[in-house]
Amino acid sequence: MMEDEGFVGAIHELFVDNVDSARDALVKQGCEVVGWRGRGQDCYIKDTFGVIFNLWEK
């Protein structure tokens, strides 16, 4: 659960091989990091449509 009083909605979980590489690639495509605690913890990204998802390393 993302602790943000301004956010309402589902957060999708995406499993990736490397969270740092995935973050860098997504940011280059226009996504925004909205919370980053690193591997094994919450790594929230917001896409250009406002959808928030959490990256998890496999």
pLDDT at 47: 94
Fill in the DSSP letter of residue 43: E
Whether residue 16 lies inside any domain: the answer is yes
Helix (H) or strand (E) segment spanning residue 14: strand 12-16
pLDDT tens readout for residues 25-34 = 999 999 999 9
Residue 21 maps to a domain: yes
In a domain, 7, yes or no: no
pTM: 0.80
> Does 4 reside within a domain?
no
Contacts with 5 (C-beta within 8 Å, 6 or more apart), sequence order? none
Q: How many domains does the chain divide into?
A: 1
The more confident residue out of 18 and 11 is: 18
Predicted local distance difference test score (pLDDT) of residue 34? 92
DSSP 3-state of 20: helix
Range of the domain at 35: 12-57
Q: 9 falls in which pLDDT band (50, 70, 90)?
A: confident
Is residue 23 situated within a structural domain?
yes
The share of the chain scoring above pLDDT 90, in percent, equals: 64
Closest CA relative to residue 13, chosen from 34, 42, 39: 42
- State the CATH number of the domain containing residue 29: 3.10.180.10
